Amino acid sequence: MSVIRLLPVLVLASLLLLGCGPGEGSVFSLAEGECFDDPEDTSDIREVPLVACDQPHDNEVFATFDLEDGDFPGSAEVEEQALSGCTERFPAQVAEEYGDDELVIGVLTPTSDSWSGGDREVVCFLSSEDGLLTGSLLGADR
């Protein structure tokens, strides 16, 4: 999986690969409402450091969905579909239109390698331009 962050005005399309370690959760099983920190190691994307949402954290998962089956459409198309799908799901989960405050949408997307193994899942998460989050943002009506 790769990570993309969508800024309110700008798409930051950088590839971030996540490392493994104790107390971490698989990127393939992240669920809505789970919180995690950015990884230190950027060599492989399999797990992220999980954090209780009532503790300061970098990110919170607000939605997951699967892309359509078929041949891998290419990284750019996967990123576009992921960002579009996450942006559409933002108001239902956070109760406001995207771009009204410091929140940033990030996505974990399938790579061509994970796609060939059946991975179609997109993980939508929130982070803040202003630093760490504390508490859940789901339904926060910010």
Q: Does this model's pTM top 0.75?
A: yes
pLDDT at 119 over 90: yes
pLDDT at 13 over 50: no
* For residues 77-89, average pLDDT: 95
Q: What pLDDT sits at residue 46?
A: 78
Sign of the Cα torsion 44, 114, 111, 86 reads negative
Measured CA to CA, the distance from residue 5 to residue 1 in angstroms comes to 13
Q: What pLDDT sits at residue 92?
A: 83
Measured CA to CA, the distance from residue 126 to residue 134 in angstroms comes to 12
What lies within 8 Å, CB to CB, of 125 at 6+ separation is 30, 36, 59, 60, 61, 62, 105, 106, 107, 108
Mean of the per-residue pLDDT values for the chain?
Answer: 80
Where does the pLDDT of residue 3 fall: very low under 50, low under 70, confident under 90, or very high at 90 and above?
low
Q: Which residue has the higher pLDDT, 134 or 14?
A: 134
